[in-house]
Structure 1
C-alpha cells in the first residue's frame, strides 16, 4: 500500500473530476493514480493461484479506468463508491472466465492511514447509504440488460410466458396454472417452456 499515492481530498477529487469531464488528460491520470490504493485493496481479497498480484492490479485498474470514464457525479455518489463496484466487476468477470471463486471484500479491512496515522478502512470512504445507491444503479443496468436479452433470445411464446410468470413490463405475476388457462395449454407444458426460457436467459446473461 505504501507504494500507492494517498487518496485525494474531496475538494481535489471534485476539481479533477470536473477537469477530466472537460477532457483534461492530466486530471484523468491523477484520478487513476490516486485511486490505485483502492484497486490494490480489492485485489488482495482474491485468491488466485495462477495470477500474480501485478496482473490482478492491472485487471482491476481497467475497472477503475472504466469507472472514471463513466462516472456521473449527478447520481449523488462518490467516485470511490462507484469505482469499487467497477473494479470488483472487472475482477469477477476475469474469475468467471477462469471458473474461480473470489473472497469477499470486507468493508472493515484497512486500506491505509490518514495524515494523523489513523487506520482507514473501506467503510470510511464508502457510506452505507451510498452502497445502496450503487446497488440500485447496478440493478437498473442488469434489468435493462435482461429486457434486451429477453427480446433477443426468446421465442414469442417463451417471452410471453416469462413476462406473465414474473410480472415483467408492469404486468401482474401469475401462476403456471393461470398461464396454462390463458394460453389453452397444460401446466406441465408451461413449466417446460419456462425452464427452457430461463436456461436461455441465464446462459446469455452470464455469457
Structure 2
C-alpha cells in the first residue's frame, strides 16, 4: 500500500481546524491529506469484498472530506474518531449500492431502442405504473440487468459519479459542480466521466436488445 503523510499532532490538528473554520482552504487540504492514512486503515478491513484497495481508498476519501467539512469540535472530541466513522459509512454505502439499485434512479439519457424502434432511457426501464404483468416482469428483469451492468461495465469512479449524480441509494441527486467539489476534480471532468459511463450502459443495453 502506498505511503501516506504522517498524521497531525493534536496541536497541529487543532490549529488547522481553527484555520479551516476561518475559511482557509489550504488548511482543509492539509487536514484531508494528513488523514489519508486513516482512510487506508479503515479500507483495509474491506479488501476481501471484491473491490480494489485503491478504489476503496478513493471512496473512503469522500467520507473523509465530508468528515472534515462537517466536523464540530464542540460535539466531537477528536477528528480521527469522527472521520473513521464517516469513512466506514461511505464504504458501507458503496456495498449496499452494489447489492441493490434504488427504484428512484433518474437517468434520462437514451440507452437504446425498443423492438418498435422507439428510443428508451433508464427511467423508462425503472418506471412502471400502468403496465400489464408481462411488462412488469420485463421491468424487473431490466432493473436486474442495470444493477449488474453498473458493476460489471463501469469503473469504480464511473459508478461512484453516477451514484452521486443520479441519487442511487442517496436522498438527493447532486449536480456536476457539487460532485466536483466533493471529489476535488473539475466539473468538466465529472461531465466526461458521466457521459462515458452512460455510453457504456447504453451500449450494453443495446447489445441485450439486439441479442448480442
Normalising by structure 2, report the TM-score. 0.45
Task: Indicate the structure (1 or 2) with the bigger Cα radius of gyration.
Answer: 1
Higher RCO (CA-CA < 8 Å; seq separation 6+): 2
